[in-house]
A and B are shown apart, each in its own frame.
Chain A
Amino acid sequence: MKTLLEVDNLTVRFSLRAGEITAVDQVDFKLQEGERFGLVGESGAGKSVTGFALINLISKPGYIAGGSVRFQGNELTALTDEQIRRVRGNDICMIFQDPMMTLNPVLTIGTQMVETLQAHRSISTKEAKRAAVETLRKVQIPSPERRLRQYPHELSGGMRQRVVIAVALITSPSLIIADEPTTALDVTIQAEIMALLLSLCKDENMGLILITHDLAVVSQVTQRIAVMYAGRIVEVGATDDIVKHPRHPYTIGLLSALPQNKPRGQRLDQIRGVMPTLLDIPPGCPFNERCDRAQEICRRQRPGLEWKQHGGRVACHFVE
């Protein structure tokens, strides 16, 4: 299997008036071709910023402070704006929580799909239209020819997200970054969209980075996950393994806080306190103030993300 994406020590900083903050701190992971990878974490953990940083979409006052992102062997952080634009929306596509971030409300769906395609391929409008219809069919939108003439506001939320996926798919990308794609949708629609994404990735051998706070969703769709906390990855490994045998205290806490993991009506296990804001991350392990196993060393020394005996990587002093 070939490596699709290789992220090495990626660091993103923001210069704010209150100080310099590190939103993404030395994140590294690898993605094989056609692999489905989850970035899990609570709000403020840096997962969305990581997603944006992958395709160089960090805008001021943020900047990529270090590390590298290699996509199919090419270094993305070194590309010019013009070059990265050719990659973005072509080889790598992004799907956001709010479909209206991608869709233009004053253009018909057909126009938007044709424009996207023509921006990256030199083909006639007629051919582009045919491709658009085909893609809409692929995302299971009924009567696609009619949809081409409709505006985004004429569609329901679930339909709009399908259109966004279709817009992303039309250039046959090899990687899709989906940032909370179903958070705004109802459960029944969420289940449909997730099933659709899963089958599309399998059929087209597309890589997927699913950014979400929802452990259950990510566990159903991805093969490997990385758990983020306060801008750092604290645990990476095979999805099934992490869900069944989490190693990092934060992952353990997060999983046992889920109502699904407790008999009905029983008190839930909770992690005490809240995630530190990026301005006051404690020295040492960022989780030490909320961790029951914290010792002196956790307050002094930051644990590296290291390979452990079970075959996954964990950033904790006390995991063997």
Chain B
Amino acid sequence: MEAPLLSIHNLDKHFDISGGLLDQLRWKGGKPVRERTMVRAVNRVSFEIRKGETLSVVGESGCGKSTLARTIIGLYPPNRGEIFYREERIDRLSPARMLPYRTKMQMVFQDPYASLNPRMRVRETLEEPVRFHRRLSGAEIKDCVAQVMEQVGVDPSWADRYPHEFSGGQRQRISIARALVVNPEFIIADEPISALDVSIQAQILNLLMDAQQERQLTYLFISHDLSVVEHISTRVAVMYLGTVCELAPVDALFDGPLHPYTQALLSAIPRLGEKGSRHIKIEGDVPTPIQLPTGCVFHGRCPHVRTVCTETVPKLRDFGGGHFAACHFIEEITARRAETSGHLA
């Protein structure tokens, strides 16, 4: 099998939110102790992204999916773990040695109103990366930018306008153009359509899919919108509280989710015209990532919980066909489900 385009191993990203030294000091047992408060946003995440595929990461707010994306692209340094791009380790590189990878990996952001510099004309926003990375003449840069603008469906004659003169959908197109203009192979899209209207979402999704075909792009697609993920992905990773609990090809995941959390999550997707609730309710709220539960992070809310779940962290296990899930009792849960649906039939 071909080597993966990008792979990450046991990635951890924690944020220290304890403030200055004085805020960290606590009085314990008669003497001052320095205590830090850490948000454990991403914990022990490993996966590979193959060339040409779209791997989606889904999860609810606060599950660490955006942090994961920003750690992979190098906006945050990881606390532990490794990131490999075409088998080269890239997580400890100096800015200068990272530079060649900057043209290969790009990112599209969520908020079309915040992701374009309001004081720069569209032309400046798009030309600057080309000028920075490639030695081209002024005319060549202009051509290159015009071509990309054409591809994303923004009239190149509007290049001298400022971002505020465009609608949300058009801004997102410009944002995508900025990522494409350096000719990347791999694009991380962090909720690229969630701030847009339904009819515009379809336009942007089509644009992303077309660009993937034309340029043989690989996507890491971050989203909370399950029906979009279902539509666009090759494989899907489900995250809960900073860990991946299930990773599978899209059909396998949506047709037969294994992990109890995935089952609950998928059952909550509102389906057009479907009356009555199929929703599997899960008890309680998501715990804070400051004090992670011991053992399986889902154990506090899982309907199938046993003692072992509170003690041992379940590993991602392969259940055939590249379908991975991290739960101690997958076999049992699947058997019980088969039994109940058998009864109903």
Direct A–B contact present (CB less than 8 angstroms): yes
* Residues in A lying within 8 Å of B, measured CB to CB: 42-43, 156, 158-159, 186-188, 190-192, 194-195, 213-217, 219-220, 239-240, 243-244, 253-255, 257-262, 264-272, 274-275
Given contacts A188-B268, A259-B228, A268-B205, contact A220 B285 (CB under 8 A): no
Given contacts A42-B199, A195-B279, contact A187 B268 (CB under 8 A): yes
Question: Quick check: which of B31-39, B270-278, B310-318 contacts chain A, the rest being far away?
Answer: B270-278
**A243 neighbours in B (Cβ, 8 Å):** 272-273
Q: Does any Cβ of A come within 8 Å of B300's Cβ?
A: no
Interface size on B, as a range, is 35 or more
B19 to chain A, nearest CB (A): 20
A276 to chain B, nearest CB (A): 10
Q: Which residue of B lies closest to A199 (CB)?
A: B277
Bound form: Cα–Cα A195–B281 in Å = 11
Bound form: Cα–Cα A258–B264 in Å = 22
**B198 neighbours in A (Cβ, 8 Å):** 42, 213, 215, 254, 257-258
From 205 to 239 in chain B, residues with beta carbon under 8 angstroms from any chain A beta carbon are 205-206, 209-210, 224, 226-228, 230-232
**A265 neighbours in B (Cβ, 8 Å):** 231-232
Given contacts A159-B285, A187-B224, A214-B270, contact A257 B201 (CB under 8 A): yes
With beta carbons under 8 angstroms apart, the residue of B209, B250, B272 that contacts A260 is: B272
Chain A binding surface SS class: helix
Q: Does any Cβ of A come within 8 Å of B167's Cβ?
A: yes
Q: Which residue of B lies closest to A188 (CB)?
A: B268
B335 to chain A, nearest CB (A): 25
**B228 neighbours in A (Cβ, 8 Å):** 259
Bound form: Cα–Cα A261–B272 in Å = 9
Q: Which residue of A lies closest to B204 (CB)?
A: A270
**A255 neighbours in B (Cβ, 8 Å):** 272
Given contacts A220-B275, A268-B206, A274-B169, contact A187 B199 (CB under 8 A): no
Name which of B202, B203, B271, B274 has the most chain A CB atoms within 10 A of its CB. Answer: B202
Given contacts A195-B279, A216-B271, contact A264 B199 (CB under 8 A): no
Given contacts A194-B270, A213-B198, A258-B198, contact A264 B205 (CB under 8 A): no
Given contacts A213-B198, A267-B206, contact A190 B270 (CB under 8 A): yes
**B48 neighbours in A (Cβ, 8 Å):** none
Question: Digit string of B258-272 for contact with A (CB within 8 Å is 1, else 0)?
Answer: 000000110111111
**A268 neighbours in B (Cβ, 8 Å):** 202, 205-206, 231
What are 10 inter-chain pairs, A to B, with CB distance below 8 A? A43-B197, A187-B265, A187-B269, A187-B270, A188-B265, A216-B271, A254-B199, A257-B202, A269-B202, A274-B199
Tell me whether A260 and B197 are in contact (CB under 8 A).
no
**B155 neighbours in A (Cβ, 8 Å):** none
Task: In the A-B complex, list the 7 residue pairs whose CB atoms are closest, starting with the nearest.
Answer: A259-B231, A257-B202, A216-B270, A186-B60, A42-B197, A191-B268, A270-B202
Q: Does any Cβ of A come within 8 Å of B200's Cβ?
A: yes
**A240 neighbours in B (Cβ, 8 Å):** 273
Bound form: Cα–Cα A126–B46 in Å = 56
**B270 neighbours in A (Cβ, 8 Å):** 187, 190-191, 194, 214, 216-217, 219-220
With beta carbons under 8 angstroms apart, the residue of B167, B202, B273, B274 that contacts A271 is: B202
Tell me whether A259 and B199 are in contact (CB under 8 A).
no
B105 to chain A, nearest CB (A): 24
Given contacts A158-B285, A257-B198, A259-B205, contact A219 B277 (CB under 8 A): no
B201 to chain A, nearest CB (A): 7
B233 to chain A, nearest CB (A): 8
A257 to chain B, nearest CB (A): 4
**B271 neighbours in A (Cβ, 8 Å):** 216, 220, 260
**B200 neighbours in A (Cβ, 8 Å):** 42, 274
Q: Does any Cβ of A come within 8 Å of B160's Cβ?
A: no
Tell me whether B281 and A192 are in contact (CB under 8 A).
yes
**B209 neighbours in A (Cβ, 8 Å):** 267
Q: Which residue of B lies closest to A266 (CB)?
A: B231
Bound form: Cα–Cα A260–B333 in Å = 28
Bound form: Cα–Cα A253–B232 in Å = 19
With beta carbons under 8 angstroms apart, the residue of B61, B167, B277 that contacts A191 is: B277
B212 to chain A, nearest CB (A): 11
**A261 neighbours in B (Cβ, 8 Å):** 272
Q: Which residue of A lies closest to B213 (CB)?
A: A267
Tell me whether A187 and B60 are in contact (CB under 8 A).
yes
**A187 neighbours in B (Cβ, 8 Å):** 60, 224, 226, 265, 268-270
Tell me whether B285 and A260 are in contact (CB under 8 A).
no
A98 to chain B, nearest CB (A): 14
A90 to chain B, nearest CB (A): 30
**A159 neighbours in B (Cβ, 8 Å):** 285
B286 to chain A, nearest CB (A): 8
Q: Does any Cβ of A come within 8 Å of B282's Cβ?
A: yes
Bound form: Cα–Cα A267–B205 in Å = 8
**B272 neighbours in A (Cβ, 8 Å):** 215-216, 219, 243, 255, 258, 260-261
Tell me whether B285 and A264 are in contact (CB under 8 A).
no
Bound form: Cα–Cα A35–B291 in Å = 45
With beta carbons under 8 angstroms apart, the residue of A42, A239, A264, A269 that contacts B250 is: A264
From 163 to 178 in chain B, residues with beta carbon under 8 angstroms from any chain A beta carbon are 167, 169-170
Q: Does any Cβ of A come within 8 Å of B128's Cβ?
A: no
Tell me whether A259 and B268 are in contact (CB under 8 A).
no
Bound form: Cα–Cα A38–B41 in Å = 38
Q: Does any Cβ of A come within 8 Å of B150's Cβ?
A: no
Given contacts A254-B198, A267-B206, contact A259 B230 (CB under 8 A): yes
Bound form: Cα–Cα A271–B271 in Å = 21
Bound form: Cα–Cα A48–B202 in Å = 23
Question: Digit string of B39-78 for contact with A (CB within 8 Å is 1, else 0)?
Answer: 0000000000000000000001100000000000000000
**B268 neighbours in A (Cβ, 8 Å):** 187-188, 190-191
A71 to chain B, nearest CB (A): 28
Q: Does any Cβ of A come within 8 Å of B339's Cβ?
A: no
**B279 neighbours in A (Cβ, 8 Å):** 188, 191-192, 195
Q: Does any Cβ of A come within 8 Å of B143's Cβ?
A: no
Tell me whether B61 and A258 are in contact (CB under 8 A).
no
